Amino acid sequence: MSPVSQPAFGHARQGSRAEPVLAASVLAPFADQPPAASLEAVGISKSFVAGVVQVKVLQKLSVAILPAELTLVSGPSGCGKSTLLSLLSGLQAPDMGTVEALGQSLCDLNKRALERFRLQHTGFVFQGFNLFPALTAVEQVQLPLGYLGMSDRQALERAMSALDEVGMTHRAQLRPAQLSGGEKQRIAIARALAKEPQLLFADEPTSALDAENGQNVIDILHRIARRHGTTVVCVSHDPRLVRHADRVLSMEDGAIRSDWRPGMPGNPVAYPMTPMSPMPGNGALNVVGHSSVDAPPSTQYHSDKGRQA
Ligand SMILES: Nc1ncnc2c1ncn2[C@@H]1O[C@H](COP(=O)(O)OP(=O)(O)O)[C@@H](O)[C@H]1O
Ligand SMILES: [Mg+2]
């Protein structure tokens, strides 16, 4: 992987907005040579203790995720999606295994360095928007830029540019109570985007939205990945989002059961390979890459549990 100081992609300034400068390997995702992974987990495990019971959420999971595309982590509620996202983003540490982000081993960073890394390189979008009721849309977006040491003028410029990118310029002076759910989520995306992070994480960003707004949000995330070379990892239990992703990692019981590309029927994920765990019950390995665009067997949830938030 490329170290932080030498990313596989970068942003060249042009006007107020960053323009992507993608490495050739990123621009040709199906060339012979795989692009460098921007996120890589190797053999990660995570357990939680609830009372006297230890819940093993992830067990020896390995995955490599690429820049400039939207990777959707799908699967029923409770299967470990949010836990995986929190480990990949450095919010939590694995009990075992390693996570590398932009070539940096997160386990090697002390608390302060990890916070700095996350501030500089990662953006987050949550199901509940997490907006401050008293702030206007543009103030919400400007706020984290202050922590990065940006001047007020520069932060305002960046914030307006990010709002423009999500089509919210005309809502810049409104407070959350004056915005619809879809608009609030677009403001939250602009807030994450304004930092120009190389890694963007979204946890159930469409769960509180109707179908149309949910589709808008996922399309915006997809566009960000393509336009800026950002690594976008989106977690969702909603099977409707699958066809909007470049790549889908389907999880079940804390393991990745399939790894496929919806837009490329019949094309397997050529790289990087995610080691598959046996399906419960029959012990058979799931095939990587499917001929069906919308629904490989492992993305069709086995119970209604998966459709609940
Ligand atoms: N901090 C925690 N303490 C105890 N149990 C947890 C904690 N975080 C997650 N879990 C448990 O881990 C399992 C997976 O949770 P999660 O990763 O949130 O699943 P998903 O996002 O797929 O719905 C669930 O059984 C959940 O209750
Ligand atoms: Mg979750």
Name the pLDDT band for 263 (thresholds 50, 70, 90): confident
The confidence score (pLDDT) of residue 292 equals 32
What's the domain range around 101? 9-307
Find the mean pLDDT for residues 254-279: 65
The answer, yes or no, to whether residue 176 has pLDDT greater than 80, is yes
Which of 212, 226, 204, 141 minimizes the C-alpha distance to 180? Answer: 212
pLDDT at residue 88 in the model: 98
Tell me the average pLDDT across 121-143.
96
Distance between first and last Cα of the chain: 35
Ligand 1 atom index nearest CA of 85: 17
Is the pLDDT confidence value at 296 over 50?
no
Residue 291 reports pLDDT greater than 80: no
- For residue 193, give Cα distances in angstroms to 32, 145, 158, 240, 270: 31, 11, 9, 24, 29
The pTM score is 0.80
1 assigned to some structural domain? no
* Residue 35: per-residue pLDDT: 78
**CA-to-CA dists, residue 201 to 48, 54, 90, 241, 297, angstroms:** 22, 27, 11, 15, 26
Nearest CA to ligand 1 atom 1: 48
Q: Please give the tally of structural domains in the chain.
A: 1
Instruction: Specify the residue with its C-alpha closest to ligand 1, atom 3.
Output: 48
Residue 193 lies in a domain: yes
The best mutation among 55, 207, 256 to test binding of ligand 1, ranked by most ligand atoms within 8 Å of the C-beta, falls on 55
Å from CA of 93 to ligand 2 middle: 17
Q: Is residue 232 part of a domain?
A: yes
Q: pLDDT, tens digit, for every residue of 180-203?
A: 999 999 999 999 999 999 999 999
Kindly state whether residue 73 falls inside one of the protein's structural domains.
Answer: yes
Q: Tell me, yes or no, whether 3 lies in a domain.
A: no
Substitution site in 48, 89, 238 for ligand 1 pocket (most atoms within 8 Å of beta carbon) = 48
Residue nearest atom 26 in ligand 1 by C-alpha distance: 78
pLDDT of residue 150: 95
In the chain, pLDDT over 90 holds for what percent of residues?
70
- Ligand nearest to the Cα of 308, by number: 1
For residues 205-228, average pLDDT: 94
Residues with beta carbon inside 6 Å of ligand 1? 48, 50, 55, 57, 77-83
Q: Is residue 2 part of a domain?
A: no
Does residue 4 form part of some domain? no
Q: How far apart are CA 168 and CA 205, in angstroms?
A: 17
Q: What is the pLDDT of residue 50?
A: 86
In this prediction, residues 165-187 reach a mean pLDDT of 97
Q: Does residue 24 belong to any structural domain of this protein?
A: yes
pLDDT at 298: 37
Pick from 86, 82, 84: nearest CA to 61: 84
Q: Find the 279 Cα to ligand 1 centroid distance in Å.
A: 21
CATH code assigned at 195:
3.40.50.300
